[in-house]
């Protein structure tokens, strides 16, 4: 009997056509990723890493800003604490300045030029120099100046012929300021206007 080889060849052809291209590695059995899928996976990972890097950068910038703000706040509070301590120390010295000035104003003429007096005046000038070096200056409170409640404190309001209402008549106690900060306001007498105007206003009220 003669075997029909044409049928066998046809069967082989069908078998070859039915075999699909393998997507698995023959040795490991793992699925082989196509190049397009691999690029998509890499792109996705890249976007994830970019998002994570942006998140880290944002956190670092926030932490840096908070640190800078904390440093500025600490420096501001330290400067304020130093200023308060300096102003308090200066305020304690001002009565000594007052005593020196009163003593100098009432100094008898026969004691001028005395070595003891000259030594005391030297101490007073040294104290003045120290305060000036710290930025302490007297507050201007000359007669005729306008009363300023920021720098002046009125101890009396009284009528006066020579000064208009709201003008300083005289300084009772010298005031001082540390740079732009008032350590002690100047105590002053303030004019309430001419006596005639006061009497007219009093008559009008009655």
Structure pTM?
Answer: 0.61
- Helix, strand or coil for residue 114? coil
Domains of the chain by residue range: 143-196
Higher pLDDT, 23 or 144: 144
> Average pLDDT, stretch 102-107?
89
In angstroms, the CA 31 to CA 45 distance is 20
The residues, ordered by sequence, that sit 6+ positions from 141 with a Cβ below 8 Å of its Cβ are: 151, 152, 168, 171, 174, 175, 186, 188
For residue 22, what pLDDT band results from cuts at 50, 70 and 90? very low
- Helix, strand or coil for residue 177? strand
Judging by DSSP bridges, how do beta strands 152-158 and 186-191 pair with one another? Answer: parallel
**Architecture of the 143-196 domain:** Roll (2.30)
**Residue 149: strand pairing partners:** none
Q: Which two tokens stand for residue 88?
A: 């308090």
- pLDDT averaged over the chain? 82
When mean pLDDT is compared over 27-31, 68-72, 108-112, the highest value belongs to 68-72
Q: Is the pLDDT at 21 greater than 50, yes or no?
A: no
Least confident of 10-24, 70-84, 105-119, 143-157: 10-24
| Buried residues in 129-168 as b, exposed as e (16+ CB within 10 A) | eebeeeebeebebeeebebeeebbbbeeeebbeebeeebb
pLDDT in tens, 153-164: 999 999 999 999
């Amino acid at each position: 009997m003669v075997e029909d080889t044409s049928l066998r060849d046809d069967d082989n052809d069908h078998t070859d056509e039915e075999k699909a291209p393998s997507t698995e590695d023959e040795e490991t059995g793992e699925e082989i990723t196509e190049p397009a899928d691999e690029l998509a996976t890499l792109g996705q990972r890249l976007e994830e890493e970019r998002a994570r890097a942006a998140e880290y950068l944002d956190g670092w910038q926030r932490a840096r800003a908070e640190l800078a703000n904390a440093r500025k706040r600490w420096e501001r509070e330290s400067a304020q604490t130093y200023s308060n301590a300096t102003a308090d120390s200066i305020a304690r010295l001002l009565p000594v300045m007052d005593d020196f000035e009163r003593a100098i104003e009432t100094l008898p003429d026969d004691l001028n030029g005395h070595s003891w007096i000259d030594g005391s005046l030297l101490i007073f000038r040294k104290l003045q120099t120290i305060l000036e070096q710290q930025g302490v200056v007297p507050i201007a409170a000359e007669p005729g100046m306008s009363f300023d409640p920021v720098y002046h404190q009125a101890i009396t309001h009284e009528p006066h012929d020579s000064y208009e209402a709201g003008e300083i008549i005289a300084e009772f106690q010298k005031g001082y300021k540390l740079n732009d900060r008032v350590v002690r306001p100047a105590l002053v007498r303030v004019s309430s206007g001419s006596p005639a105007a006061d009497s007219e206003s009093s008559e009008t009220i009655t």
